[in-house]
Amino acid sequence: MQAEGSLSVRLIGAVAVMRDGVALPVDRPRQRAVLAALALRAGHSVRRDELVRAVWGQDPPRSAPGNVHTYVSGLRKVLGSPQVLRTEPDGYRFDVPARDVDALEFDRWADRATDAWAGDDGEACLAAVAEAARLWQGVPLPGVEGPFAEAERHKLDERWLTLRRLRAQALLASGRIAESLAESTSLAHAHPLDERVAMLRSRSLYCDGQVAEALAELDAFRRRLREEMGAKPGAELGRFYEQMLTGEVDSEHGGAGTAKPETPPTPAAGARAATRSGPAHLPHGPWGFVGRDNELAGLAPEPGLPLVISGHAGIGKSALALRLAHDHLERFPDGQLYVDLAGSLDSGAAPVAEVLDRQLLAFGVHVDDLPGAVDQKAARLRALLAARRVLVLFDDAADPEQLARLLPEGGNSAAIVTSRRRLSSLREVRSVPLTELSPASATELLADGCGNKLDVDPADPWLARAAAFCGHVPLALRVLAVRLAEAGADADAVRGFVNEQGDHEDPLEVLSPEGDGTGLSVLAGLEHAGASLSRDARTGLSRLSTRADQEFSFDTLRRTDPDWPGPSAEPSAVLDELLETCLLDRCGEDRYRLPNLVRTYGRRLARQPDSHDGGVL
C-alpha cells in the first residue's frame, strides 16, 4: 500500500498515522475523529463546519470550531509537514494519495470485486476480494466516537459483509463448493439473521449433495427470524425453497464459471451425501437454559407416546423441547429431525406435503422418487421411521389435523411437539402445558442473559422486581437482558429501570418499542392467538383480565360476574377455548389462572371500545 518512507493512514483495525512502519502518536479520541474525517476525504477540502458535525453531531458546544483548529494543529505537529495537512479558505485538505488510506484502498478493491462479478469474471472477483481482505484488519475506526465515525463504521462493516457474501458466491460459481460452504458457514455464525447468508449456505449445501441439510438450514432460519424478529423471510427465499424441493434450482449467477447443478445432485455427489443413515438436523441446544427442573425430571421422548409441549408465545416451549431432545440423543442413533411447522405464522402453517417431502429427503429419498399423493408420502415416511430409532421435533404445530399424517406410528421412533395450542383432541399423547418460570429461575435467567456485562448481584431484590415486570416469561426476560447488557447495566441502572417502569400498566408496550423486533414477538405472538379467538372468547378474556383475582374457580367467576362472558355466550365453551389456545391455565380441580402477560394483553383488549358491552368487576 505504501512505498518505503511514505506516509499512510490506517483506519481499519486501528487508527494511526504510519511513517516508515512506525505509528505516530495520535492519542486524543477527538483528534482521531478529525484525522478519520480528513483521511476519508483525502485530497479533497473538508469544511470546518463539516468537521464539527463529524465530531460532535448536530448540537456541538460553542468551543467546537476552536477545538477543531487545536486538533488540526496537533496533527500537523505529528505529521511534521504543513504541506500534508493544508488550510483551505473554509476548511482543510489532507494531501495523501487515496491508495495510502487503507479504508479508501479497501473501497477501491471492493468496487473492483463488484464490477468483476457483474461482468461474469469470477476469478477476477475473487482476486479483488482477496486484496480487500488483506486490508481488513479488524473493526473500522476503533475507539473513535461521533456520528461520522459511527456512520463510516457501519458502512465499512456492511461493505465487508457484502464482499464475504460475494466471495462465497464466486467460489460456488467456480465449482469450489467446499470453500464456499466453509465461507457461508462462517458467515451464518456471525450473521444468523441475514437472509442472503442463509440462502448462500443453503445453496452451498445443496450443491454439495446435502439436499435435506439445505432445506433444514432454511427451516432453522425461518424459526430464528420468527422468534427473534417477529418477522418472516422474503419471497425469494420461499421460491428457492420450492426449487430445491422440486429439483429445479436456478443458477444464482448465469455467467461464466457457473458450476451449480441444474438438477439435484445424486446421492453419490458431494463429500457428504444425503443418504447417510443418521440425519442430525436439531438446532443447537438452548443457550442459558434455566429452570424447568420438574419437567425435565419427569419427561423423556418415548416411541408411541408423543410429547406435546404447549403454552403461549415466549413461554419457552422450543427451548424445553430442544433441551429434552439433546438430553436423549443417544437413544436415537438413526437420526434426529427438526421440522418447523410454522403454525403461528400469519402466512399460514407449513403444508403437510412439503413437510413430508423434507423428511423423506433427509433419509435419502431422491427428489425424483418422492411419492405424489400426501397419503403415499406419509406411508413411505412411516415405513422408513418404523425401521429406525429416530427422534423428530415438530416445532410450532398449528392443529391436530396438521399432525395427523406426520407423527410416527409404531416402531422405535419418537416425537416431541410444541404448539401454542393444547392440541387436546390428540389421543395417546403426553400433554406438557408450560407456565411461567418460578421467580427464582426468572431472576437467574435475567442475570445470565446479561452475562458479564451486568455488574449486579443476582440476589439483588431489584433484579427480582425487574424479572417480575417481565411476567417471569423467558422471551420477555431475554429482551430485557439484552437491553440491560447493551446499556452496560449496573445495580443502579436496574433500580432505575424498575423505578421508571415498575408501575407501568403495560409491560408488553415497554418491552416492544417500535423497531425492537425481538421484543415485538412477545406481543405479536399474543396478538396472533387473540386474533384466532371467537368474539365471545375475546370478550371473556378482556373481562377476566380486569378482575382483581388472577386465579379463580368457576363458581367464584359465576358468582362475582354472573353474565360472564356475555348474555348469549356459553361460559364453559369460552373457558375451553381459552384453555385450548393457552391463554388460560388450569391450576387445579375447577380452578383457573390467567398467565401474567396474557393478563396484560387482555387489559389491552379491555381498553378497546368493542371489547365487551358490560362492566367488569
SS3 (DSSP) at 577: helix
Would you say residue 266 has pLDDT above 50?
no
Would you say residue 274 has pLDDT above 60?
no
Rounded CA-CA distance 19/111 in Å is 27
Confidence at 533, pLDDT banded by 50, 70, 90 = very high
Give the pLDDT of residue 289: 81
Give the pLDDT of residue 592: 95
Give the pLDDT of residue 286: 67
3-class SS string, 389-457? CCEEEEEEECCHHHHCCCCCCCCCCEEEEEECCCCCCCCCCEEEECCCCCHHHHHHHHHHHHHHHCECC
Confidence at 390, pLDDT banded by 50, 70, 90 = very high
∠ CA 435-440-444, nearest 5°, is 100
Give the pLDDT of residue 149: 85
- Pick 133 or 21 by higher pLDDT: 133
Would you say residue 83 has pLDDT above 90?
no
Give the pLDDT of residue 212: 77
Range in 223-227, 276-280, 378-382, 526-530 with the lowest mean pLDDT: 276-280
Would you say residue 273 has pLDDT above 50?
no
Q: How large is the angle between the packed helices 352-362 and 374-386, nearest 10 degrees?
A: 40
What is the β-pairing status of strands 414-419 and 85-88?
Answer: unpaired
The fraction of the chain above a pLDDT of 90, given in percent, is 33
Fold of 293-433: Rossmann fold (3.40.50)
Give the pLDDT of residue 156: 92
Confidence at 254, pLDDT banded by 50, 70, 90 = very low
Count CB atoms within 10 A of the CB of residue 533.
19
Fold of 7-103: Arc Repressor Mutant, subunit A (1.10.10)
Fold of 110-246: 1.25.40
Residues 6+ apart with CB under 8 A from 55: 30, 33, 34, 37, 64, 68, 146, 148
Residues 6+ apart with CB under 8 A from 440: none
Confidence at 249, pLDDT banded by 50, 70, 90 = confident
- Pick 232 or 206 by higher pLDDT: 206
Give the pLDDT of residue 435: 93
Query: 245 φ, ψ to 5°?
Result: -65, -35
* pLDDT tens for each residue of 575-613: 999 999 999 999 888 899 999 899 989 988 888 765 544
Q: Answer whether CATH 1.20.1260 is correct for domain 533-606.
A: no
- Pick 86 or 493 by higher pLDDT: 86
Average pLDDT value for residue range 456-460: 72
Give the pLDDT of residue 488: 60
One-character DSSP codes across 358-391 = HHHHHTT--GGG--SSHHHHHHHHHHHHHTS--E
**How confident is the prediction for the chain on average, in pLDDT?**
83
Residues 6+ apart with CB under 8 A from 311: 317, 420, 433, 434, 435, 582
One-character DSSP codes across 513-553 = -TT-HHHHHHHHHHHHHHHTS-HHHHHHHHHHHTSS-SEEE
- Pick 312 or 523 by higher pLDDT: 312
Give the pLDDT of residue 258: 32
Long-range contacts of 189-196 (CB under 8 A, 24+ apart): 191/161, 192/221, 192/224, 193/224, 193/225, 193/228, 193/229, 194/161, 195/221, 195/225, 195/233, 195/234, 195/236, 195/237, 196/165
Closest CA relative to residue 197, chosen from 183, 187, 207? 187
* pLDDT tens for each residue of 477-525: 888 877 776 666 567 777 777 777 755 667 887 776 443 434 345 788 8
Q: Note if the bond before 565 is cis, omega within 30 degrees.
A: yes
Range in 274-288, 393-407, 440-454 with the lowest mean pLDDT: 274-288
On whether the CB atoms of residues 360 and 370 are closer than 8 A, the answer is: yes
Give the pLDDT of residue 610: 59
